[in-house]
Chain A
């Protein structure tokens, strides 16, 4: 809109007068709303910026129409009248919004309300130089001349949707009372005014009479942010208080961090069923809107019946919201002050008309500036057009598209790079309406609604540029827009998509391999459990440490499995809430780490590698080959030593990542992605190692398990399995008896 004070006509785009009626006036475009269609009147449609009524002032000061006053320049207020606040636009069911649009476009400003309300027919148009006249519908009047109108308080939703249905396609979601795109609140008989009532706020000196309606927040246009959530009840407020009988869900099956990090709308608006607004292109000087482009082949036009899934965006608190992310194909001129000023439609049209011959678009209404060559042609034409424009001190046109900016350097060559200007700031219009019931929300069918290889939440595609160099949309994985660094996102995706599905199979293969080993080779050595156990192998502390490690590991494996596969059924069976499972998991984890530290302290000395371990390793502990092989071993054999140190490292990794993951919600998303990936991957390795360890410690080596129960082994077992350790025992025994140890017979 034009400023009030201007020095040259070049500075004036739309005056207040033009703004009311702007838009196509051909028969096809006649119903396309003007700015004045949705602005209900009053305010800037009635009074100028000096607080005076336009029509009376222009009659008194007709020279204003020839001045550069942004309210009066080339206006006809004295003929059109002003647009007073039309109460019937909101309060009269059956109000004809299209007729209002038509009347405004024909400059019948003060007649628009009469015609659109249907109380009278209006003939003659100011635009055609006529004096409009009204013929009232006499059937609406009583004998005393009073009109009888079935007005509605609060306004019916149908009337709100006149504006918010049409503009919502671009801005805040979709129409409210749409059968195709239903809303659970609408289905319950709620109306717009139930959530957006007139504000009563003495602290802000706002009274209900002022028609100041409660609003949420909208993150693109950011209008009147000081009124955000004033008098407004959020989803949480209504559903925690049971306001108007709202159900009070406990979300028992949802992981608690989801409720902290996701807006309710993320799950409860899983899809929208009318084509949204992908973006706009102003290259031709007209606003060309493009509908949703995904899934291919895309929608034919905005508002068509078409199912698509939202994009997601974080707010300043890190919470994720569903949005209709829009893209702009836009031109600015960078002036001497370094600010990129948006170009007026008429300036763009002139430029495009110059470039059109060279561009040769397939559709003259839809320009094609995809390739660097085409962009250069358009910028050169625009530069030529803007020469001498009085509103700029410097002519340097910029083209903005898909997060990139393009301009011509001093030699006239095209320069491109990431868009660092305000125009490159990508945003999405919030989606708050058309809420699905709980049974259709994401998560209702389990975690796989979002955490599966095909789910839209992470793997679904979102358009980032309406037209790449090949003219086709450029897309990106939905999850990439959550704010995670690309490398971390793809590491996590590799884990989720390619590894997770095969982990169970790999572990089953391991078990199968061990079974083959057992059936092929049998248990190692004879079972010496019939012999009296006389040698203490593990003391009480060691046995308890091992037991605690083992039990906590089992708990970790069980809960970890549930998280790894998001197994809701098992979660509900054993823990009732995800929060309980999470707490059990990290408490068990802390115990396991503590027990691991104690184990290291207890066995570190025994786990020092000795020269004879080489022989053990060379003969692979005698586990392969199917023959009985004698291998030397200390109190711990080389395999046990490797296992101890290996699990020490694994415990360290799991402990550090696990402890950090306890505070996951406070960490940057990149950290969470990497930590959970590392934690998950090493958990699998750990489980595989423990399965092998358990096999070797039980059926593969009879008698071993007994050492962990009562701590004792037989002499033969010790000699057979841990010959070097046995020698130490015998030597110690002899030393205690005071005689030299007997020589071992070969």
Chain B
């Protein structure tokens, strides 16, 4: 019993030391996802091991969107790039500019 405690204690110490000595960027990084099913754009599971829809590209909307709010995420400027504000009459002084993002900017 005593030996078991020593082994467990030693193991914990090694793990703790390893975590403490990790480079800072590894500390900061989190593993984002558990294993998940890829899905086609119409929501069907892709399983290359069984051949199910295995020649279809995966759809981020269906795959990532199964757990994350795809529509909400894509409201961000990185995705919209001005598309959410685009219109033909956006600028009177520069009529070829259609939004204040990079889409329709020039």
Contact = CB atoms under 8 A, between A and B. Distances in A.
A85 B60 contact: yes
B106 A342 contact: yes
Contact of A39 (B30, B57, B61, B81): B81
B79 A211 contact: yes
A122 interface: yes
A5 B89 CA distance: 11
Contacts of A88: 60
B103 A39 contact: yes
Nearest to B53: A134
Interface stretch (A42-50, A510-518, A694-702): A42-50
A151 B81 contact: no
B98 to A, nearest CB: 6
Contact of A43 (B31, B50, B80): B80
A134 B75 contact: no
A145 B41 contact: no
A151 B32 contact: yes
Contacts of A198: 76
B47 A145 contact: yes
Interface string B62-106: 001000111011111111111110101000011110101111111
Nearest to A205: B75
Interface string A174-217: 00000000000000010100000010000000010111110100
Contact of B77 (A114, A142, A144, A227): A227
| Interface residue SS majority, chain B | loop
| Interface residue SS majority, chain A | loop
B32 A153 contact: yes
A61 interface: no
A210 B76 contact: yes
B25 A189 contact: yes
Given A143-B49, A145-B47, A224-B100, A113 B81 contact: no
Given A152-B29, A153-B30, A213-B76, A145 B105 contact: no
A85 B64 CA distance: 10
Contacts of A1: 98, 103-106
Interface in A127-162: 132-138, 141-154, 156
A223 B100 contact: yes
Interface in A615-634: none
B48 A141 contact: yes
Given A42-B74, A209-B69, A339-B95, 9 more contacts: A5-B88, A41-B60, A46-B74, A135-B55, A147-B35, A189-B28, A222-B100, A223-B82, A227-B77
Interface of A: 1, 3-5, 39-44, 46-47, 49, 81, 84-88, 91, 110-111, 113-114, 119-120, 122, 132-138, 141-154, 156, 189, 191, 198, 207, 209-213, 215, 221-225, 227, 339, 341-342, 422
13 contacts: A41-B79, A42-B74, A120-B58, A137-B48, A153-B32, A210-B76, A211-B76, A212-B76, A213-B78, A224-B82, A339-B93, A341-B95, A341-B96
